[in-house]
């Protein structure tokens, strides 16, 4: 037994201690645990891919691990692509949390980790938690700075397509922070099917902004919360649909990756 290189994503539901309503708690419980079930179904359908994933969900937190399958040749491994795949596949359950009127803060990193049926540990686990608890500050899923910059720069470099003036980025940047673009898949496709639900870009973006404004009204005397919501509002307003989704990219994004 030894550490393995993995993508580690940690996310925590903000304000969970003040949520006492059963239905609100159950919604989050359902989102996180349905992701466990969907994960099992996906793995049956994509047995040919070189990566696997493991999800640990408890209370109002979730840890998600992406790693290479046993026996994969070194020549087939691409750490940057693995990280981007992990972020891509995690946007939808986290988007569902936002659309339920709740907010997340989290951290994403890549490094040494170990897990088994009993639990998990390692430097990457600690780092993902550190990003969430001490670095992210705002309701974002922040990517470790060096990794986030590499992904962001790579996307800019690869988006020099003369056909389209705007191409969505899976990682966005604001004030030297790099973070998951919650609306990425809806920016690519105006319709997204996830489980039994169908989401639309315009409606989803508006709903999130409405929840932000409501949260600011309910906490109008709490400057700390107001500042966090203002930052998230700026993050969401960075989003705009790709020019591709007017026809060329008009696919229904069923998450089967």
> DSSP states of the chain as a string?
---EEEEEEEEEETTGGG---HHHHHHHHHHHHHHHHHHHHHHHH-TTSSEEEEEEEETTEEEEEEEEPTT--GGG--HHHHHHHHHHHHHHHHHHHHHTT--EEEEEEEEEEEEETTEEESHHHHHHHHIIIII--SSSEEE-HHHHHHHHHHHHHTT--TT-S----SEEEETTEEEE-TTHHHHH-SEEEETTEEEEHHHHHHHHHHHHHHHHHHTTT-HHHHHHHHHHHHHHHT----GGGGTTT--B-----
The predicted pLDDT at position 58 comes to 81
Q: Look at 31 and 105; give whichever has higher pLDDT.
A: 105
Q: What is the spatial distance between Cα 40 and Cα 32, in angstroms, rounded to a whole number?
A: 13
Angle between helix 201-218 and 79-99 (nearest 10): 60
Place of tokens 């980790």: 113
- Given a contact cutoff of 8 angstroms between Cβ atoms, the answer to whether 108 and 217 are in contact is no
The predicted pLDDT at position 86 comes to 95
What would the pLDDT profile of 169-187 be if each residue is shown by its tens digit?
Answer: 999 999 999 999 999 999 9
Q: What is the spatial distance between Cα 32 and Cα 21, in angstroms, rounded to a whole number?
A: 18
Q: Which CATH class is domain 4-246?
A: alpha beta
The predicted pLDDT at position 193 comes to 79
Checking if the pLDDT of 157 tops 80, the result is no
The answer to whether the predicted template modeling score (pTM) of the entire model surpasses 0.85 is: yes
The predicted pLDDT at position 255 comes to 37
Q: Which tokens belong to 204?
A: 């989803």
The predicted pLDDT at position 127 comes to 98
The predicted pLDDT at position 181 comes to 97
Q: What is the spatial distance between Cα 222 and Cα 99, in angstroms, rounded to a whole number?
A: 23
C-alpha to C-alpha distances, 183 to 51, 75, 97, 112, nearest whole angstrom:
24, 32, 12, 29
Band of the pLDDT at 154, cuts 50, 70, 90? confident
Domains of the chain: which residue ranges? 4-246
């Amino acid at each position: 037994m030894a550490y393995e290189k993995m993508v580690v994503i940690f996310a925590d539901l903000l304000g969970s201690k003040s949520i006492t309503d059963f239905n609100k708690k159950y919604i989050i419980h359902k989102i996180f645990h349905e992701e466990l079930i969907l994960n099992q179904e996906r793995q049956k359908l994509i047995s040919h891919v070189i990566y696997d994933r493991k999800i640990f969900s408890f209370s109002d937190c979730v840890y998600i691990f992406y790693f290479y399958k046993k026996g994969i040749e070194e020549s087939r491994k691409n750490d940057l692509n693995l990280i981007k795949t992990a972020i891509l596949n995690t946007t939808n359950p986290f988007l569902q949390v936002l659309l339920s009127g709740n907010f997340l803060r989290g951290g994403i990193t890549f490094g040494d980790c170990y897990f088994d049926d009993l639990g998990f540990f390692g430097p990457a686990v600690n780092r993902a938690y550190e990003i969430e608890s001490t670095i992210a500050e705002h309701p974002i899923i922040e990517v470790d700075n060096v990794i986030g910059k590499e992904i962001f720069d790579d996307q800019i470099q690869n988006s020099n397509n003369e056909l389209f003036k705007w191409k969505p980025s899976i990682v966005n940047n604001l004030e030297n922070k790099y973070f998951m673009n919650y609306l990425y898949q809806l920016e690519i496709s105006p319709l997204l099917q996830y489980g039994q639900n169908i989401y639309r870009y315009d409606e989803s973006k508006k709903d999130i902004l409405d929840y932000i404004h409501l949260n600011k009204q309910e906490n109008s005397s709490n400057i700390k919360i107001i500042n966090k919501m203002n930052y998230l509002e700026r993050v969401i307003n960075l989003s705009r649909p790709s020019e591709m989704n007017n026809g060329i990219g008009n696919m229904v994004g069923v998450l089967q990756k």
